[in-house]
Amino acid sequence: MEQYLVGVDVGGTNMRMGIVTPDGRILKKIQYPTDMSRGGLAMMEGLVSRIQDFVRKGTRGVRSEIRVGIGVAGPIDMRRGVLIAPPNLPDLHGFPLREFLQEKISLSTAIENDANAFTLGEGWKGAARGCLHYCGITLGTGVGGGIVVAGNILHGAEGLGGEVGHMALNPEGPLCGCGGRGCLEVYASGSGIRRMILEAIEKSDGKGIVHKSKEGLRKITSEEVFEAAQKGDETALKVFNEMGSYLGLGLVNLVNLFNPEKIVIGGKVSRAWNFFIEKAKEVVWQRAMKGQREKVEIVQADCGDDAGILGAAYAALKLE
């Protein structure tokens, strides 16, 4: 009997799903906008019927073993399969996702945090392929990450481990959404970049980008800061440099703690790679311990939007 995996990436903006072979080929995929208008539960119910429909069409009724893996943003209590304060689905705090899916879909189902799914996807088919010890970091609206030790994703006691974005780097730093201060996320995320550019403009040590209208400034996005950097805007370049130095500190901690072969960095903010990575690598070289820093490779992700689908499918593949 053939085996198929269905990898699902539940995003705040888009839902993506793919039918994946046990050797990691995506046979078919779909994507549709996330509809949160009727709340999280209705969204999940909609997702279930999409999955059922997708499986039916994708396997054309051929007898096969199908497993489903789902990557969701936010912490998951992996022991109980319960969502903890998901950032995009606030009304699903405490939602027993695993039980819900098993009941509705009646297929073996794995759930995983989305940043862990990204990390697993990159390890299976992407930039960390073949590595047994590696870390993944996603630079998006927030900063997520995953840590793989001896081939296994690190979950910790409740499944809440590997929160790379909430490494505390600066005790006096800006407040973070997690309640802490100076976490990696407040410097290396899209919202962190937005905060830093607004602060830099406030201090008005900027040219170019500073001439935007007041209204325009309030709406400024990290993409616009990236575009400004590409045009050589000094303030934007400074912001990416600062972001790179904090990201570098985060990498130092990962390198010293986990001695990874690779650290894979993805997410939409990583498109500004050339503007922050040299600084980050310089910090790693200055501060990480000698043995570890000489071994680690810091690389860009290469599965693009498919990493989440692949990683969720991989989690399903590895179900006991």
Where along the sequence are the contacts to Zn ion (CB under 5 A)? 166, 176, 178, 180, 183
Cα dihedral 8, 179, 163, 173 sign: positive
Closer by beta carbon to Zn ion, 193 or else 309: 193
Question: At 64, which amino acid appears?
Answer: S
Closer by beta carbon to Zn ion, 194 or else 293: 194
Closer by beta carbon to Zn ion, 176 or else 296: 176
As measured in angstroms, the least distance from the Cβ of 302 to Zn ion is 28
As measured in angstroms, the least distance from the Cβ of 71 to Zn ion is 21
Closer by beta carbon to Zn ion, 28 or else 195: 195
Closer by beta carbon to Zn ion, 100 or else 187: 187
As measured in angstroms, the least distance from the Cβ of 182 to Zn ion is 8
Question: At 222, which amino acid appears?
Answer: S
The structure tokens listed for 153 are 């994703």
As measured in angstroms, the least distance from the Cβ of 170 to Zn ion is 11
As measured in angstroms, the least distance from the Cβ of 176 to Zn ion is 3
CB 144, CB 264: distance < 8 Å:
no
Strand 134-139 to 262-266 pairing: parallel
As measured in angstroms, the least distance from the Cβ of 299 to Zn ion is 25
Indicate the SS3 state at residue 98.
helix
Closer by beta carbon to Zn ion, 24 or else 145: 145
CB 147, CB 118: distance < 8 Å:
no
As measured in angstroms, the least distance from the Cβ of 60 to Zn ion is 46
As measured in angstroms, the least distance from the Cβ of 118 to Zn ion is 18
Largest alpha-carbon pair distance within the chain? 66
State the CB neighbour count (10 A cutoff) for residue 61.
7
Helix (H) or strand (E) holding 162: none
Closer by beta carbon to Zn ion, 73 or else 183: 183
Alpha helices in 136-207 (DSSP H): 185-188, 190-202
Indicate the SS3 state at residue 278.
helix
CB 216, CB 165: distance < 8 Å:
no
CB 113, CB 156: distance < 8 Å:
no
| Helices and strands in the chain, H and E counts | 11, 12
Closer by beta carbon to Zn ion, 133 or else 181: 181
* Cα dihedral 37→8→162→141 (10° resolution): -40
Name the residue among 183, 148, 160, 5 with its Cα closest to residue 83: 160
